[in-house]
Amino acid sequence: MNKKTYICALLTKRKQSYERERAPSVLAKVAITGNMYKVKIISKVRIYDYEELSEADRELIDKAKEATQTSYAPFSKFCVGAAARLSDGRIVTGSNQENAAFPSSLCAERTALFYANARYPEKSVEELAIAAYAHGAFLKAPIPPCGACRQVILGVEERYGHPVRILLFGEEGTYVVDSVKALLPLQFTGETMNE
Ligand code: THU
């Protein structure tokens, strides 16, 4: 198989697997110009005002906002809170915990998810809300999770076999995606190693 055919086969395979999952938050489209492949990645993100969200969504966001108060961020002064809703309806929260050796710190999302998975391993994570507080206010723009947290959320989706709905709170709008795949195109998963 030449390089061009191989790339095309890979993309076709991925496209089929998105269709199989029936949660196509990200679609890849291929256009061919001469010897060039152009890949267009489309993410579906819905944007809501806080008041437009359902009561359940507002509850999860409020828990994430509350969790920012438990953040330990003496170095960055950037307080992040995360709230995960599990399959039994339970809400588990976490916040960023910093250390003088910076890489030894942990983000809010991973604190919440690892705690949820360690404490309630049989319960899947359905939804995750994230909020951030800095310079005396919650962020105006939706808080984007860091790359490492996106990868961990992907691992949680893989572990429980279904997508995690994510709410990124911002005072001027909340972004909602149906899966972390909308925030992390071209994912590396356990399956990648078997391809
Ligand atoms: N932080 C999070 O908790 N979550 C993210 O997704 C982005 C960053 C934390 C890590 C660090 O304590 C502070 O925010 C500044 O980077």
Distance 101 CA to ligand 1 centre (A): 14
Q: Determine the pLDDT at residue 39.
A: 72
CA proximity to 111, closest of 144, 84, 86, 74? 84
Provide block-wise average pLDDT over 10 residues at a time, the chain (195 residues): 41 45 51 71 90 98 98 98 98 98 98 98 98 98 97 97 97 96 90 86
pLDDT at position 186 is 85
How far, in Å, CA of 180 to CA of 128, rounded?
A: 10
Neighbours of 164 (CB within 10 A): 22
* pLDDT of the residue at 23: 39
Separation of 55 CA from ligand 1 center, angstroms?
Answer: 27
CA of 146 to the centre of ligand 1 (A): 7
In this structure, are residues 115 and 128 in contact, taking their beta carbons and an 8 Å threshold?
no
Give the pLDDT score at 27: 58
158 is catalytic: no
Q: Which of 109, 158, 171, 172 is catalytic?
A: 109
Biggest alpha carbon–alpha carbon distance for the chain: 57
Region of 186 on the Ramachandran plot (φ > 0 left; ψ -120 to 50 alpha; else beta): left
Q: Looking at residue 100, what DSSP letter applies? A: S
DSSP string, 138-150: E-SSPPPPPHHHH
The closest-lying atom of ligand 1 relative to the alpha carbon of residue 98 is 12
pLDDT at residue 93, as a whole number: 98
One-letter amino acid of 32? I
Place of tokens 């969504």: 57
Main-chain dihedrals φ then ψ at residue 107, nearest 5 degrees: -70, 160
